[in-house]
Amino acid sequence: MLVMPPHNSDLGLHLKPAWSLSRIPPMGLLSIASYLNENKHRVDIVDCRELIASNKTSDYISLLQARVKHFHPDIIGINMLTANFNHVKAIADKVKSTYPHITIIAGGVHPSVEPELTFKQISSIDAICIGAGEEVCLDIANDKKLEDIDGLMVRGGSFIKREPELNIDKYPFPNYNLVNKDYYTHFSTLTLTGWGCKEFQP
């Protein structure tokens, strides 16, 4: 399971008119999920912004918990930015307290820059993906020992840098069937402005 946490400004999404929202899919998570899916792994993308807007509530963690219970993931990867640090911590702490057997991995800019500090501040995170996540996540899904995966820092373990994959043709185009396409903005030149860009197509 791959999770996109909200930002504080997302907590009131259900109070805003739909036409004022610029809804962009979590492309990093979608890229990883598409690669895993192409390699025959089950994957679920949970965008907490969608949970908030679609269910008209800011209590997204309860809704996320229900998705975890339904999907039964072995591993949860959380996209982490500095701006959503508190939400990542809340998600990781709640999931770990309810499902201690699930391995929780953080990835994204914030933990890649400050992995040791992230471990110190969020005790419920088991490992951190530093850099691109496609190959790291595939190794994880293929049951490779976490301690032996280059590009993955395990709590209390050593770290070996993973060189970026330069042959991007090995990766599939994003599989938009892995997300709720009706929720996201239909791309146009207006998508970048955030004005009048959301249209629900039949």
Question: Cα torsion for 144, 148, 153, 157, to the nearest 10°?
Answer: 130
State the CB neighbour count (10 A cutoff) for residue 178.
18
What mean pLDDT is predicted for residues 69-83? 94
Residue in the block written with tokens 């339904």 = 70
The whole-number pLDDT of residue 198 equals 47
Residue numbers of the domain that contains 103: 2-8+25-157
What mean pLDDT is predicted for residues 193-198? 48
In a domain, 54, yes or no: yes
Distant-in-sequence, close-in-space partners of 79: CB < 8 Å, separation ≥ 6: 2, 3, 4, 5, 26, 28, 29, 107, 108
The whole-number pLDDT of residue 187 equals 56
Distant-in-sequence, close-in-space partners of 148: CB < 8 Å, separation ≥ 6: none
**Pair type for strands 103-107 and 127-129:** parallel
Q: How many domains does the chain have?
A: 1
What mean pLDDT is predicted for residues 85-107? 95
Of 131 and 194, more confident = 131
* 119, 155 contact by CB (below 8 A): yes
Q: What is the pTM of this model?
A: 0.85
The whole-number pLDDT of residue 186 equals 61
In a domain, 189, yes or no: no
In a domain, 30, yes or no: yes
Residue 165 has pLDDT above 80, yes or no: yes
In a domain, 186, yes or no: no
Question: How far is the C-alpha of 61 from the C-alpha of 179, rounded, in Å?
Answer: 19
In a domain, 37, yes or no: yes
* 4, 88 contact by CB (below 8 A): no
34: domain CATH number is: 3.40.50.280
In a domain, 91, yes or no: yes
What mean pLDDT is predicted for residues 160-165? 88
Q: Which residues pair with 127 in a beta bridge?
A: 105, 154
* Per-residue pLDDT tens over the stretch 12-53: 766 765 544 557 788 899 999 999 999 999 999 999 988 988
In a domain, 95, yes or no: yes
Instruction: Point out the least confidently predicted range of 24-33, 60-69, 93-102, 186-195.
Output: 186-195
**Which stretches of the chain are DSSP H helices?**
27-38, 48-55, 60-71, 85-98, 109-113, 115-121, 134-141
In a domain, 75, yes or no: yes
The whole-number pLDDT of residue 17 equals 52
